Structures are given as structure tokens and as C-alpha cells.
Structure 1
Amino acid sequence: MSADATPLLSPADQALIARYLQHVQVEKRLAERTVALYTLDLEKLGASAAQAGVALAAVQNHHVRRWVAQMHAGGRSGRGIGLILSGWRGFYAWLGREGLISANPVQDVRAPKQARPLPKALGVDEAMHLADHSDEEDSPWLEARDAAMVELLYGAGLRVGELVGLDVAASDAAARAGRGWVDAQAGDIHVQGKGSKRRAVPLGRAAAEALARWLAVRDQVSVAAADAAHALFIGQRGTRLTAQSVWQRLRRRSLRAGLATPVHPHMLRHSFASHVLQSSGDLRAVQELLGHANIGTTQVYTRLDFQHLAKAYDAAHPRARKR
């Protein structure tokens, strides 16, 4: 324990904490780093209890709630408070098993909710610049593949798992395996999203053209597995492309295109949703396109849209512009 916290604890409370830390280290075999974090959490608990003039075994629910409020008022994040509460909860659960308390005072205490961060989206010009970018250092095969990937992620709002799960065409094998496919003739992309829910997404003109260029060269690499024979996107070794590879290629492509922020697949999905909503204002349509079960999930993009409008107002309105 730290020198600051130790004098505040009674010998009995110090002994309790020492026994618990020995328990998690020896019997539960937790990592040294985890034990160190537990130690810090219990130092804070002991200091708070001693300051309140209450023994650790006598701490009640209202004490814990007050300490949570104090941490929150002091600027500690909801996530940080949640981690501390987790450590305290485990300690009191152990005291209960030892027969030293009748109820866990931390059991129903939850950390303050964090404000949900806005998803990161590219501006329209940035997204268009990335989609139009051509990397001359790549082979024509890689360039065609990566361009098609960008067009499907941004032009159709696909998740990266949906992208790598696409087959060239519909088949019984694809249906059984829960994979999607592209129907270029009908102009549709059929994907299986979260919760095994299928949806159809329009295949835009630019995406269709990029796919046609990719399919014209795709077979220049021999497939190395039966699954890859049907895969829309394959790697240079002839296997179905992985989500990790898509992340790496997209990050590389965005940096080479000169974008200030490295782009990841979900950023293009966010950009798709934000830009469609800015142009149409149709939240229900965006919900369907993204495959969200709850429209509340989609409503976060209205906040992005408001930010866009607020920036336009600040830049254009004479009463908003700084003198």
C-alpha cells in the first residue's frame, strides 16, 4: 500500500485487505499487474472508509454511492469509476463468502454513464478523394481490389465482416455458411449482418464499375482453398481476405491519399450513413441501409448531421462569424 493510505486504515482493515490480495494472487492466480490494480482500488476504498469513520466490513450502500458521486465530481471518468467498483465488488463478495458481511454494499451500484462518443466520419470531399485515389505503387491487381473494397465500404455502408463475407455470386453453400453475395445484374448486394439478419443494399454505379474492374483481374491469382474459390475478395496468397487485412490496406491507402487521419473500415460506414442522411434527411432509410434493428442506434447520425449544419452556420451567417 502507499504511504499516504496506510495510516488511515485500522490494523484490522489492513489485515482484511492483505488477506484478500493474497487470495487473488495465490488462489485465483491473477497476474501481477491485476493484483497491483486491485491494491490501488482497495487503498482508495480504505481511505474513503477511514475518512468516513466506518470500518470496511461496516460499509453500506449509501457510503459507496456517496464515494462514487465524489469521484465523478472530481473528474474521474465513468469507465474509471466502473473499474474501481469492479475491484470493490470482488472484495466484498469475498468478505461475504468468508461470512464477514451479510450483504455486498457494491452489488447494485453502477458507474455514471459515459456520454456516447460520436462516430468518426470523413467529410464528403475527403471520402470522395479516398474513393478516387489510385495508388501507382501497387500492382494493377491490388489497386483494382482495394478500390473495389473502398467503394463497397463507403458506397454501400458495409461492415468489414460483411465485406469479407461476400461471395462472387449466390449459392447454396453461401446461404448455408451465412455469407452474402453480389448480384451485379440486379444492382444489389446481399449481406448477412449482426444477429444473422439478411438485408439487400443497392449497388451504386461507382461501386459496380469498380467491382467490374476487380472481377476482370481477380482470377489472375490462383485460389488456395475451396472457400476462396467463391470469395469476392481474396489475398495475394489465394485465400479469402481477412478483416485485419482490410484494416491494414485501408489505413495504408488513406495515408497515401494524403488524408490527415488514418481511415478504418467502420469510418467509411459512418461516412456513408452521415452523407446519406445529410442529403436525404430520411432516418428510416438510413436505418434500413445500415441494418440497424433499433432506430435509436441510427439516431447518432443526426448528431453528426447537426454538427455539419452548425459548422456551415458558423462559417456563413453574419451573426455567427467572429469579428
Structure 2
Amino acid sequence: MNASPLQPAVEGFLRYLKVERQLSPLTQISYERQLSACIILLDEMKLAAWEKLDAAQVRALAARSRRGGLKPASLALRLSALRSFLDWQISQGKLKANPAKGVATPRASRHLPKNIDVDEVNRLLDIDLNDPLAVRDRAMLEVMYGAGLRLSELVGIDISHLDLASGEVWVSGKGSKERRLPIGRMAVEWTERWLALRELFAPSDNALFLSKQGKRISTRNVQKRFAEWGVKQGLSSHIHPHKLRHSFATHMLESSGDLRAVQELLGHANLTTTQIYTHLDFQHLASVYDAAHPRAKRGKT
């Protein structure tokens, strides 16, 4: 089979994502997968060059993708990847306009991440055993919930990233963006307990959280341990790292109402990403409205 004439430009874009943007390997794979699917469909449509792509062909690509069984969320991802690639083509002087910009993205049903309430969090974190691995797990749970970290950020923490005197941690998030975060009194306390036991595992590197073999703990191991503690502590829902991150965001928003601050803590580039965490119930919103809006305040009788 002859190589597609559309492929070289995509390969240049993927190199740009890896070298200049330094996106995560998973994100790079996602772009490659979506753009490869686009090339297959556009080859079927006899598109000979990216310069000849127009909005009608992009809509036809979307229609073929839907007929092929692609769900709205996946189709939105495909069109987003195509738009990003075409924007890059414009920046390289290869295109004058982005024909995918005017093609509507299908609406996907929004599934809010589930959180656990404060009482359940307290029950989950009520681990006070002498087993060094249990102390490690409690420290991981406290830091994850205390700072609202991503799983990759948690396992990526080195000892040098900690300042326990000030209760802070440095993490590297998406796009290798670093941020400094408070972790809270309980997270500091249990991290100190874990550090007192850490040498028992003969550490082979500077990672804060270690496996039994003394190496940096893997994301899969963290997921497995969190799920096991959810069962041991009698929680009704499955416990996984992102649920703790979402619970952190939800509880912070419910207490503070400061969406911008939570955006910074979570490391979101866009405020719209943070807004998926705002599922405050109507009673809470109504009480805030009644207390704050000049036309809602009731006069004293």
C-alpha cells in the first residue's frame, strides 16, 4: 500500500508535539490515533493534499466517523485533534485558514466525576496501623486529598519537592508545568511518619513514595492500594485516585466558592475545565443568592 500524501505533514506535527510542546506520551498517542483515522477517511474521499481540504469535507469526515460508530465524545476529540493540526499548518505557512473551525462539535452527554462526601473521606483516612505500608498508604491518601493531585503528580513527587516546615509540595503537572501547593496539616503529619519508615525499604532513588522493592511506586500499585482501602474501610463506592481529586475540588468549592483559586490548585489551564467540578446542589446556590444579592435580602419584620 502506498503511503498517504497526507502523512508527512502529520508526522511533522507529531514531532512538534513531542519536542516543542513536550506533551505527555499518552496525549501524543491520542493525537496520532485520531489523525491517523482522519487520514484513512480523507484518503477514501480522494483528498490529495491538506491545502485542498474544505469545510464540506470536514463535515463529511465527521459524518463517516459517526456512521462508523464513533460516539459524540470521541468524535469531538477527533475534530479537536484535526483543528489543532490545521492550526499548526497555518502557523507553518502551509494553510491560510482552518476549514475545521466552522464545523460544529457534537454535544456529548456530560458525566460528572463522582466524589465522596467529607464523612466518607474521614472514614477512608482513618488508618492508624503500625504496618509501614499502611503508613505509606495513609500518607499517599492524605497528600492526594490534601492537595487535589493527579495520580501522575503523586507518584512523581521526590523528597526534594517537599517543604514540610511550610506544608508545601512542588509537583509537575500536564505539559510539565510546575506548581507549588499547600498539602495541609494531616498530610504533613503522615508524610513525616512515612519518612521515618521509608529507609526500611532500602530506597534506590529519591522518590517520596516507594514500592516494597524500594523503587518509585507505580500508578497501578497506587490504584490497587486505594481500591483495597476503600473496601477495608467499608465505603460503598469504588475508591480510585481521581475520585479523591474530584472530592478535593468539590469540598473546596463548597466551602469557599472560589472557582479561580480551585482552578489554580488543580492546575487547570482553562476555567471551563474546573467548572465540571461545580455540582453544588440548588439549596446551597439558593442560600448564597439569598445572602448575597441586594434584591434577594429580606427586610426585618
Query: TM-score scaled by structure 1?
Result: 0.57
Which residue number in structure 1 is paired with residue 194 of structure 2? 214
Unmatched 5+ residue regions in structure 1?
Answer: 1-22, 24-60, 86-107, 171-180, 313-323
Q: How does 1:195-210 map to 2 (within 5 A)?
A: 195-210=175-190
Secondary structure of 1:152's match? helix
Q: Does 1:129 align with 2:109?
A: no
Which residue number in structure 1 is paired with residue 290 of structure 2? none
Cα-Cα RMSD:
3.9
Which whole-Å deviations, capped at 9, do the CAs of 1:1-33 have from their partners, x for residues lacking one? xxxxxxxxxxxxxxxxxxxxxx9xxxxxxxxxx
CA contact (8 A) 2:150 2:245 kept: yes
CA distance in 1, matches of 2:247, 2:104: 33
Q: Does 1:165 align with 2:156?
A: yes
Are residues 81 and 244 of structure 1, via their aligned partners in 2, closer, same or farther at CA, if it must alter by over 3 Å? closer
Which whole-Å deviations, capped at 9, do the CAs of 1:80-134 have from their partners, x for residues lacking one? 8789x9xxxxxxxxxxxxxxxxxxxxxx977622033212211111112111234
Are residues 288 and 239 of structure 1, via their aligned partners in 2, closer, same or farther at CA, if it must alter by over 3 Å? same
Which whole-Å deviations, capped at 9, do the CAs of 1:293-315 have from their partners, x for residues lacking one? 1111111222x223684899xxx
1:295 partner letter: L
Which residue number in structure 2 is paired with residue 250 of structure 1? 226
CA contact (8 A) 1:157 1:272 kept: yes
Which residue number in structure 1 is paired with residue 281 of structure 2? 306
Quote how far apart the aligned CAs of 1:279 are.
Answer: 0.4
Q: How does 1:22-37 map to 2 (within 5 A)?
A: none
Q: Does 1:265 align with 2:241?
A: yes
Q: Does 1:290 align with 2:266?
A: yes
* Range that drifts further, 111-120 or 123-132: 111-120
CA contact (8 A) 2:127 2:134 kept: no
Q: How does 1:30-69 map to 2 (within 5 A)?
A: none
CA distance in 2, matches of 1:133, 1:166: 22
Q: In structure 2, which of residues 134, 139, 142 is the aligned counterpart of residue 151 of structure 1?
A: 142
Secondary structure of 1:132's match? coil
1:297 partner letter: T
Which residue number in structure 2 is paired with residue 4 of structure 1? none
Quote how far apart the aligned CAs of 1:77 are.
Answer: 5.0
Which residue number in structure 2 is paired with residue 240 of structure 1? 216
2:280 partner letter: D
Among all aligned residue pairs of Structure 1 and Structure 2, give the percentage whose two residues are the same amino acid: 44
Secondary structure of 2:143's match? helix
Are residues 154 and 81 of structure 1, via their aligned partners in 2, closer, same or farther at CA, if it must alter by over 3 Å? closer
Moved over 6 A (4+): 80-83, 108-111
Which residue number in structure 2 is paired with residue 115 of structure 1? 109
1:306 partner letter: D
Secondary structure of 2:109's match? coil
| Bigger Rg over Cα | 1
1:202 partner letter: P
Quote how far apart the aligned CAs of 1:78 are.
Answer: 2.3
Are residues 310 and 129 of structure 1, via their aligned partners in 2, closer, same or farther at CA, if it must alter by over 3 Å? farther
Query: TM-score scaled by structure 2?
Result: 0.61
